Structure 1
């Protein structure tokens, strides 16, 4: 088995694996790399925009920061525990869900996941193009396809390039944004509030606090669908505690920092635009520094666009494989990434100019669709099967886990339905949320109902039959890798 400190010889630059199993002979990487990977993955402008919401609803800046801190701490908990699944199973995140839902029953979580990836890719594209528009001609029809094409190239090269770029961007982001954050705090604490800025009238508002909490939690829960994609190459015997802690620290620290910065900017600037706000505050240090901040942010956006394109390709390929068996070749990856890119370009060109309002609704939709999935998936891994799966059977659409696994499908559906009365968004407010003044507790309901039901249903699983299949599966997978 490969040591965590060494990497086996690689064949070529382009990653060869996609939705297939990564054998032990090809495992490599270090656990601590997960920290900077998820720091940079979360240190992007959509994260900052999430922090705009509390002040815009009348919440004071420090109450907004508290809501962010609590929400991120809660949401990252679920996201980080998915990290341990990657090295134990050697598979991308979403294809693992076949064990709970079946190769075809998993289509609803898959569709929601592709929605998440494409949605983030769209918003990242819009923001990156706006940033470049400060120094270059602001032409959507040029920049959108160029930016998406660059992200696809990064995703084609694959896993190791994404890790490399994310890791080294961390150092640059920390330096630049540490300076910017200090400038913002010093300036806004010693100057009068601008006319029309929320800080002039902000205070305590329970509804606003809960909305900010839910958005912060949902934002990081949405990263649950990514995690094993970037831990599956680690050796199978890495420390679970260290791995989960590294992912949690990176993702939580960056989210709390950037959302809190967003809350500060939103409190003291009337109707802030993320790009223009960064430039305005950065230029308080010296003219031109704001532009440096924006361009560094664009680099981070391009990197995470590659991550989103990569994840969408993996999930989309897994969905197709459930209905028509596919060979996970590099050519198929390129085709899948091209489809993702075209879809993202079309949506980016059609999205309304008020993308901040659209983004907030997008985050809530992610929360609604992904909470029942993460509950079922984590309960199965940690409490039902306890990390023991016949991985070769997961990869077979008609294998041991079947095409339609009723336990996961029913638990997911009932959990989602139970959440509906608690929904609170601009397009729908459920009766319970309405009675609570618009507060959204749906994620708590979804976690408890879906996770609890699945745990009850799982009592009838035949673990003895699965144990025999696990032994045969490991021999089959490692034997075929020689």
Structure 2
């Protein structure tokens, strides 16, 4: 294995870094496992403090036309359930000490994992682009004279400044942002409670099973969408004591923040005209909405650093797939971070309203693609191998005991994709079974159950055959 100024052996201690993170996709040395559950809770509390979360919460009372109470109940159920699957991935970080998608090599092989890593990379970049556009629109809602393109560039630069330092600074910035936006959201909710909702707005709409279950799916998939991130943030926690705290810190922070911000969105959606969330917020909180929207606009740029951080780790993982054993250090991370920011900003600059709608559909499709990976990964980690992995094999050219291609796991993955198709509900496609049951989105649930169960069955049969020989 070659070592240069930008390459070091997997697991070798990084030079003293100060604020600048030098670790990338290699295992975090035990001497640097100084992370805490408190810090992890802070970053996940801040991850959902975004205008996009408000818009998502508003779907219950706008798109699905549910009464506010039913919409909120669906939001609670969806986030509580989806958060469990997401946070279980977080407990893997302290044990293995590597980014989340590196772990996919244990299930699919070093080359077989390429597809899911690529999908996750595109997903992270997609979130980055979406937040750039939504943040710029929020800022324009406060200051109509602001040029959207200038706002996008400014947000990208702000994200870049934070991301170059690495995870430690990202955690601090997002945690502080969580406190600021959290206070603004709580004040907004308090304002609404004291002032009251316009007459009849809370009971407007009507309960439907389709709308209710669909909103549960929105909340659940919102949480599951974070699954490819979580070990990226928890891998600095101590191996011997970090798994359980990582789960609860991640679950508590992400679910709590999502529920509070989506609740605001739900109420705003109940009075929004033509789905205009910013206008609905102004209707409910008056001039204070200006402060809230401004806060959201700024935090969109700050929190986006987390999306680019994970996109960078995944891009480096993709490159390492073809340069086995290459562990990039600071320079590799900085170059990749810069490229991701520039490409993402360029796409955001040419985006139109129609493009964003199509792009959102594309991102939603990618979430379906990641569902089977999540199920396979969790079953492999908690049921099959019970957390025992040869981390060094993740970086060997031949994949060590995991090989380069795990064909049975890949077949299960493809089956997991296929079974979701009849249940899928997208703006451009509704599966036949979903149509027959009134447009209820059960694809994510079916994908998790079939992929996880089939992988367990295939793995157990394979091990039984090996023991018989």
TM beyond 0.5: yes
SS at match of 1:307: helix
Q: In the aligned structure 2, how far is the partner of 1:73 from the partner of 1:272?
A: 26
Gaps of 5+ in 1: 1-7, 466-482
Match of 2:237 among 220, 234, 252: 234
In structure 2, the residue matched to 1:469 is: none
How far 1:150 moved relative to its partner? 2.0
In the superposition, relative to structure 1, how do residues 186 and 370 fare at CA in structure 2: closer, same or farther (>3 Å)? farther
In structure 2, the residue matched to 1:367 is: 367
In structure 1, the residue matched to 2:3 is: none
In the superposition, relative to structure 1, how do residues 78 and 397 fare at CA in structure 2: closer, same or farther (>3 Å)? farther
How far 1:180 moved relative to its partner? 0.4
Residue 29 (1) aligns with residue 35 (2): yes
Q: In the aligned structure 2, how far is the partner of 1:37 from the partner of 1:310?
A: 13
Match of 1:14 among 17, 20, 23: 20
In structure 2, the residue matched to 1:470 is: none
Structure 1 contact 219–363 (Cα < 8 Å) conserved = no
For each residue in 1:381-439, what CA deviation from the matched residue of structure 2 results, as whole angstroms up to 9, or x when unmatched?
10111111110111224221222112321111111101100011111111100101111
In structure 1, the residue matched to 2:9 is: none
Match of 1:181 among 170, 189, 197: 189
Residue 340 (1) aligns with residue 348 (2): no
In structure 2, the residue matched to 1:480 is: none
Residue 266 (1) aligns with residue 269 (2): yes
Matches within 5 A, 1:63-78: 63-78=70-85
In structure 2, the residue matched to 1:452 is: 453
Q: In the aligned structure 2, how far is the partner of 1:211 from the partner of 1:348?
A: 29
Q: In the aligned structure 1, how far is the partner of 2:77 from the partner of 2:51?
A: 20
Structure 2 contact 185–264 (Cα < 8 Å) conserved = no
SS at match of 2:205: coil
Residue 218 (1) aligns with residue 218 (2): no
Aligned length: 448
In the superposition, relative to structure 1, how do residues 9 and 334 fare at CA in structure 2: closer, same or farther (>3 Å)? closer
In structure 1, the residue matched to 2:65 is: 58
Q: In the aligned structure 1, how far is the partner of 2:242 from the partner of 2:94?
A: 10
Structure 2 contact 131–301 (Cα < 8 Å) conserved = yes
Q: In the aligned structure 2, how far is the partner of 1:75 from the partner of 1:364?
A: 15
In structure 2, the residue matched to 1:315 is: 314
In the superposition, relative to structure 1, how do residues 359 and 75 fare at CA in structure 2: closer, same or farther (>3 Å)? farther
How far 1:231 moved relative to its partner? 0.6
Structure 1 contact 408–454 (Cα < 8 Å) conserved = yes
Q: In the aligned structure 2, how far is the partner of 1:397 from the partner of 1:19?
A: 16
In structure 2, the residue matched to 1:389 is: 389
In the superposition, relative to structure 1, how do residues 436 and 39 fare at CA in structure 2: closer, same or farther (>3 Å)? same
TM, length-normalised to structure 2: 0.90
How far 1:143 moved relative to its partner? 2.3
Q: In the aligned structure 2, how far is the partner of 1:267 from the partner of 1:51?
A: 10
Match of 1:172 among 172, 180, 205: 180
